Amino acid sequence: MNDYLLIAHITSIAGSEGFLNLKIISDFPDRLFGLKEVYIDFFGSKKKIWVEKTQQSSKSFRIKFKKFETIRELQVLIGRDVFIDETLAAELPEGNYFIHDLIDTRVWQEHKLLGTIKDVLKLPANDVFVIVDEHNRELLIPFVLSFIENFDKEKKQLILKPGAGKYEDDEN
């Protein structure tokens, strides 16, 4: 069974030459240029699609798939997610993680379960964990390496150092 990494979202048709505009999800957008194939999600099932050409203009990316030429064929792809096989993932430096490795990770601090990571917000200062507790309340904690005592990707468990990320909530 293949595991996949989300790299982009198809947003619209780009011109009349069969290209599609992409919203890039990956931190490594240049890797799009070496891809021969990608997987498109159709209702939870991944279908292999062959890449014909990839283009970049300023900060936008466009992709053209083999055997997708008419407007009708291209419209079927709009709004779909684009994945690559996990074996093609970039090697990350120490202390860096793929977002999909963090999602659904249980977060602990001082032997107390804070909740589960449901999202990672990409903000200018640093990324932020969106942690949802057992009462469906959100807790936001900056993704700062000095706050992390241990992260076990296989066990989907993250342990924060005591006091790390604590703040006073004005609403309580």
CATH number of residue 37's parent domain: 2.40.30.60
Sorting pLDDT into bands at 50, 70 and 90, what band is 16? confident
Specify whether 12 is located in the same domain as 53: yes
CA–CA separation, 130 and 149 (whole Å): 18
Sorting pLDDT into bands at 50, 70 and 90, what band is 38? very high
Residue 166 lies in a domain: no
| pLDDT reported for residue 117 | 93
CA–CA separation, 5 and 41 (whole Å): 11
Specify whether 78 is located in the same domain as 105: no
| pLDDT reported for residue 90 | 65
Please say which residue of 88, 118, 140 terminates a domain. Answer: 88
**Mean of the per-residue pLDDT values for the chain?**
84
Please say which residue of 88, 108, 137 terminates a domain. Answer: 88
| pLDDT reported for residue 166 | 61
> What would the DSSP string read from start to end of 18-67?
TEEEEEE--S-GGGGGG-SEEEEEETTEEEEEEEEEEEEETTEEEEEETT
| pLDDT reported for residue 168 | 44
Over residues 136-158, the pLDDT tens digits come to 999 998 888 888 889 988 899 99
Q: What is the CATH number of the domain that holds 154?
A: 2.30.30.240
For 153, the domain range is: 99-160
Specify whether 13 is located in the same domain as 46: yes
